[in-house]
Amino acid sequence: MSLTAPRIVIGAPASGGGKTTFTCGLLQALVRRGMAPAACKCGPDYIDPMFHSEVIGAFSRNLDLFFSDAAQVRSLVADSAAHSDVVVIEGVMGYYDGIAVSDEASAWDVARTTDAPAVLVIDGRGRARSIAAEVAGFARFRADSHVEGVVLNRVSDMLYPRLKDIIETETGVRVYGYLPVLEDCSLESRHLGLVTASEVADLQVKLDKLASAMERTVDIDGLLHLASSAPALNEAPWLELIPGFRSSGYNAPRIAVAHDDAFCFYYADALRLLQHLGAELVEFSPLADTGLPEGVSGLYLGGGYPELHARELNANALMRTSISRAIRSGMPTIAECGGFMYLHDVLEDSDGGTYSEVGVVPGASFKTSKLGRFGYITLTAAHDGLLVDADEKLRAHEFHYWDSETPGNDFTAEKPQSGRSWKCGMSTPSMYAGYPHLYLPAHPQAARRFVDACAAYDGERGQR
């Protein structure tokens, strides 16, 4: 099939250059025009897609060339394009920054894989003619750089015309506008990156101000024309390639998904995949609810910030007991990073206080002074378990400042390119728990095993 798919990548020379702010402002401007944009994020980040979703009122997906092969990434973009007017893809880190010090899985890698034009957000503060050298360097660093334009960030109305002329004259790269300094539109950060979208006061006010500024200072029509120059995609939308629900002799299961201020890190396509495979997802709050939802036969505890809510999680003893009983009875469970921390006997909060939690994982989850085992990994199973059998592999990602007295030893984690490895994760016939975040769309067979195990679960007797 051939699918017209207007699309554009928003990149930057480095992290902190304004990619998320610009992307959200552009999405908001498109929504205000009555358009239906789709949003994507390069890499494994959870938080930026939350901001995208707040703007467009629909899920934003991740495009990650470590987790997925090129065909799957293109089919994910095709899926987004099939339901939108234009696909806006936010880059990750610096435009050429990928795995380790390579360009693999970088924003550039996604741009060339999806054949999408790229526009770089360049910080214009304290710059003059040397800004042209930076633009030229990025545009010519690879023969197929896909860099078709730039937008200048944090520059004045007075300086912009001069910088635009310098860049276009010296490099031939088109300048599509600028953003002035908008202090009250900045997005706050914490130890895992930006604060989540739900925590930003007056987010809609900030987005509207950004969109209004961009309508005045950015050539949005030009960006849309550039996006429309992308060639058609020939891949089928992603889920069409994966066999859906099949009867395994049981009814489709209901899976409880933790979702509140403490647990909010989920890949949208992982949840969509579980639904495609027949699961009904039921959100609940470990902070506010008194127990798991009625009639569930599976549990998904995603990542997030339980360390910021350890006291409140501890105070909800009824929920802790409900989860403990369910897991001990054999209810199929996935607990990633923050969810894994919550399952410990003890969780240290960000102020150094310690609190009893679910108590399924022995020992304490405790604060450290730096990122632990940061980045992409491939997990190899030591024995058969809930998601995979012995020697099967899962691609995953770690990003956490907390560690565990009992991180598990049921998988061998190996870093790409460096070969460094260590033991981690807990795998039983009914549970996966550990710091690594999984990307289930890369392993639909593991997702199907989880759904099938949930369908087979009997809460009165444990596993059938």
Query: Is residue 110 over pLDDT 80?
Result: yes
Q: Which CATH class is domain 243-463?
A: alpha beta
Catalytic residues: 337
Residues of the chain with CATH 3.40.50.300: 7-228
**Residue 394 near residue 296 (C-beta atoms within 8 A):** no
- Burial of residue 464 (CB within 10 Å: 0-12, 13-18, 19+) is exposed
pTM score, two decimals? 0.92
Question: pLDDT, tens digit, for every residue of 326-335?
Answer: 999 999 999 9
Question: What pLDDT, on a 0 to 100 scale, did the predictor assign at position 409?
Answer: 96
Question: What pLDDT, on a 0 to 100 scale, did the predictor assign at position 58?
Answer: 79
Torsion angle (degrees, nearest 10) of CA 137, 139, 145, 151: 120
Question: pLDDT, tens digit, for every residue of 116-144?
Answer: 999 999 999 888 999 999 999 999 999 99
3-state helix, strand, coil in the chain (%, to 5): 35, 25, 40
Inter-axis angle of helices 107-114 and 70-81, nearest 10? 70
Question: pLDDT, tens digit, for every residue of 160-195?
Answer: 999 999 999 999 999 999 999 877 656 554 344 445
**Residue 25 near residue 213 (C-beta atoms within 8 A):** yes
- Burial of residue 57 (CB within 10 Å: 0-12, 13-18, 19+) is exposed
Strand partners, 347: 355, 365
Inter-axis angle of helices 160-171 and 130-140, nearest 10? 40
Residues of the chain with CATH 3.40.50.880: 243-463
Question: Is the CATH code 3.40.50.300 the one for domain 7-228?
Answer: yes
User: What tokens were used for 368?
Assistant: 């450290």
